[in-house]
Chain A
């Protein structure tokens, strides 16, 4: 796995993001190139027993290596096809993959900007979820997301979601249990080459 050495000022913020994301029960990794990002994601899916995966948006240059890697590992890959009801497809798959528009270090948060709800489905329904995030979009605090929110909201219809780790519930005896409705295993891959 890539190290944070040599990232200068970004070092603190990326390190903090990954640390906080892990505290929240997620997994976090840093990837220096598309190949290593694809490997980290594919390994994660394998570890969690995924056999089918739905891919939505991916960062530039990642589609090919990732699909290749997943297919090599025998995973069945789905992507958006307008002829089918996406709910039917996404509810069948074991894992979802998409890309966050940004991340917040202090709170270990992925910022998902969705102009179509297929994006939200992918990060909500499957038991395992992998999210790529461009390292240069990781900001320190929640308060620094206002610009991103404002520009996203210029579009007529948009859903922005702050996702902080796997879904959780403490409703029975306040014992924290991960993965109640949404994903149970969540990996965020910070792409440092972007």
Chain B
């Protein structure tokens, strides 16, 4: 296994090569964001109760994965009854050999293939071409990348990175004449070019989107209809599928044929959804028409047997996670991916192409959590990715700079003893130069100052020891940086009638998670959960001014601690502070007044999204008479905790590139200041826009309601 520093070097070079391409990035982002907009429209129309829709889809996949062996047997039996031949391939090599043997037996020379990530995964084209068979990819996007000699850039849009000019050049080469970059003309060329292949091919291969065990049916979805044109005329048809494509019943399949396009391209249904049950005869002739189904394991059984990665098999390949991923949408699938790209590409690569391959691009995950929020089967990719990093660092080691940024709390704890000296040092050019050189902390990045007065002092006489109905989780932000905001939150709760306590605690430890140091993250979680759960009385809430802290208590700790009852109890009690304050003002239990003039641009930190609480921030500000609008790109600002503090392309520079679009929008919003609940997003936005950035509590003053 190569060392972490070697992988870091290779990845840095790849990232550095694409960072300067700002025009290309703009084009890519627009394409991905457009898809997300269409997706939202389709959800409105087809899945009003999106949470239920997601849970239904997840249940279908979970049921299938839990019963995989049984369903596999049932599927094989039913397919064989229909005259199809079914093969099980344990790995890529075996799968390629099976396909090759069939082709050889049929004396096939020309093969058409319709889009299939599984055949990409096993390297089928390369294998067959090595044996002198001609394989033509018939999906337009796949054809483009095939002619370019590249691999797919995106799960759903394999050629999304190519402009029409690029395509015109590729097609002109193939046509032997100059084609214009008119998309209609390019499509016409593809139509004619491929039609001839369809009608003369000896064999057709397609991937499989879903397979129904109870009926022995494979389902193939395409928008272009290329699967049909491939497998209708060809005598021999081979469907290549991963074993995770199985579902039990027709009803299950129907759920997924909706979930897939809605979440993927924002369509109501894919244009052509073919349910193939056996091989239908052509003009009454059935004898020569064969159907072969190759079912591939290639690491899937290991995934299924691994409790952390099992749910990676729930993926329905909609690609939404890559559209939302901040680093993917800045770098694209040739940097952020191997064969499988984007967020889900990391766990999949770890199992089908090896841990080291996955570790090559896993550091591009900055743990914003958005992929989990968007996934139609609610796959916890951030957790799996952290686990990939964790498993890798056992062998390849941890990067020194990651260890440095993980220990920020220690540095600030020491710093808080000598605040003036510490603040002077972190602002001095010399110190910053040395910090960059020896610790890997970017010198241009503003570092937050440590507060002069500790939180405990500010809360003296305000918090209670026992019987609290609100526990304040200070985290790093309120403990070391802005105890004044922490105290304001506590005051507001007291005004609203809460008895607040500050139980013993450490900071959330999220950076350990982000860098894959899961043992350390777990220790932190154990400590906090033990103390918080002890202090938690029935009906009490836990709040924090930092959304990442809230997110960690709510979503991460239960999983890290294997869902022990105490962690679940803490999770249950944890709520978004801004949501709570908004409810309290709405219910007349608290009054809010503005203390800052002007219009506010509200930033939505990623971990606030998980609570769906950004509207509450706006509503809270508005209830105090502040004019506020959400300004966002729908994805992360790029700071990602400590990521944007690290020197180099895999840190500060990438974080700025991720943030550029948000900064532009903030600046164009003509708002006088920005409001963000996150302490680190605040630094990034302030560095990137030069606008003042406040925590919402800084812009408001809370009082108890006046007695009438």
Contacts and interface: CB of A to CB of B under 8 A. Distances in A.
Contacts of B269: 104, 107, 109, 142, 162, 164
Interface stretch (B162-170, B555-563, B694-702): B162-170
Interface stretch (A41-49, A66-74, A112-120): A112-120
B280 A171 contact: no
A15 B250 CA distance: 27
Contacts of B268: 20, 106-108, 164
B228 interface: yes
Interface stretch (B180-188, B376-384, B452-460, B480-488): B180-188
A192 interface: no
B86 to A, nearest CB: 15
Interface string B121-155: 00000000000000000111100100000000000
Given A143-B254, A177-B184, A114 B280 contact: yes
A50 interface: no
A125 B226 CA distance: 10
B569 interface: no
Contacts of A76: none
Contact of A174 (B31, B83, B270): B31
Interface stretch (B189-197, B405-413, B529-537): B189-197
A86 to B, nearest CB: 5
B251 A143 contact: yes
B265 A159 contact: no
B31 A142 contact: no
Contacts of A156: 81-83, 277-278
Contact of B223 (A106, A107, A109, A167): A167
Tell me what chain B mostly uses at the interface: helix, strand, loop, or mixed.
mixed
27 contacts: A82-B284, A106-B46, A106-B268, A115-B280, A117-B280, A120-B228, A124-B225, A124-B232, A142-B269, A153-B277, A156-B277, A157-B278, A157-B286, A158-B280, A159-B275, A164-B267, A164-B268, A167-B223, A170-B157, A170-B223, A171-B141, A174-B31, A175-B183, A179-B187, A179-B191, A181-B224, A181-B225
B523 interface: no
Interface in A70-111: 80, 82, 85-87, 91, 104, 106-109
Interface residues of A, number: 55
B43 interface: no
Given A107-B268, A142-B258, A169-B223, A87 B199 contact: yes
A9 interface: no
B286 A86 contact: no
B195 A181 contact: yes
A44 to B, nearest CB: 20
- Which 10 A-B residue pairings sit nearest by Cβ, starting from the closest? A182-B225, A157-B278, A171-B141, A162-B273, A171-B140, A167-B225, A107-B268, A117-B282, A160-B275, A107-B269
A36 interface: no
A157 B281 contact: yes
Contacts of B160: 174
Contacts of A164: 267-272
Contacts, number: 181
B35 interface: yes
Contacts of A173: 31, 163-164, 183
A159 B277 contact: yes
B183 A116 contact: no
A169 B272 CA distance: 12
B283 interface: yes
A154 B224 CA distance: 28
Contacts of A107: 46, 258, 268-269
B250 A146 contact: yes
B282 A118 contact: yes
A182 B164 contact: no
A2 interface: no
Given A172-B187, A182-B228, A142 B257 contact: yes
A149 interface: yes
Contacts of A172: 140, 144, 159, 162, 164, 167, 183, 186-187
B279 interface: yes
B571 interface: no
A64 interface: no
B233 interface: yes
B217 interface: yes
Contact of B251 (A125, A146, A152, A153): A146
Contacts of A116: 280-284
Contact of B82 (A152, A157, A161): A157
B274 interface: yes
Contacts of B83: 156-157
A133 B268 CA distance: 20
Contact of B271 (A120, A125, A163): A163
A194 interface: no
Interface string B26-47: 0000010011000000000010
Interface of B: 31, 34-35, 46, 81-83, 138-141, 144, 157-160, 162-164, 167, 183-184, 186-187, 190-191, 194-195, 198-199, 215, 217, 223-226, 228-229, 232-233, 250-251, 254-255, 257-258, 265, 267-284, 286
Contacts of B272: 161-164, 167, 182
A161 B280 contact: no
Interface string A115-153: 111101100110000000000000000110110011011
Nearest to B283: A86
A34 interface: no
Contacts of B164: 172-173
Given A120-B280, A121-B233, A153-B217, 16 more contacts: A91-B199, A104-B269, A107-B46, A116-B280, A124-B228, A124-B229, A142-B269, A155-B277, A156-B278, A160-B277, A161-B274, A171-B158, A174-B160, A181-B191, A181-B198, A182-B224
A57 interface: no
Nearest to A165: B271
Contact of A161 (B46, B228, B233, B283): B228
A180 B275 contact: no
B34 to A, nearest CB: 6
A168 interface: yes
A159 B194 contact: no
A149 B217 CA distance: 11
Contacts of B251: 143, 146
Interface in A35-61: none
A168 B273 contact: no
A107 B254 CA distance: 13
Contacts of A157: 82-83, 277-281, 286
Contacts of A180: 140, 187, 190-191, 224-226
B140 A169 contact: yes
Nearest to B34: A174
Nearest to B45: A106
Contacts of A179: 187, 191
B283 A85 contact: yes
Contact of A146 (B225, B254, B274): B254
Given A167-B223, A167-B271, A158 B278 contact: yes
A20 B223 CA distance: 16
B32 to A, nearest CB: 9
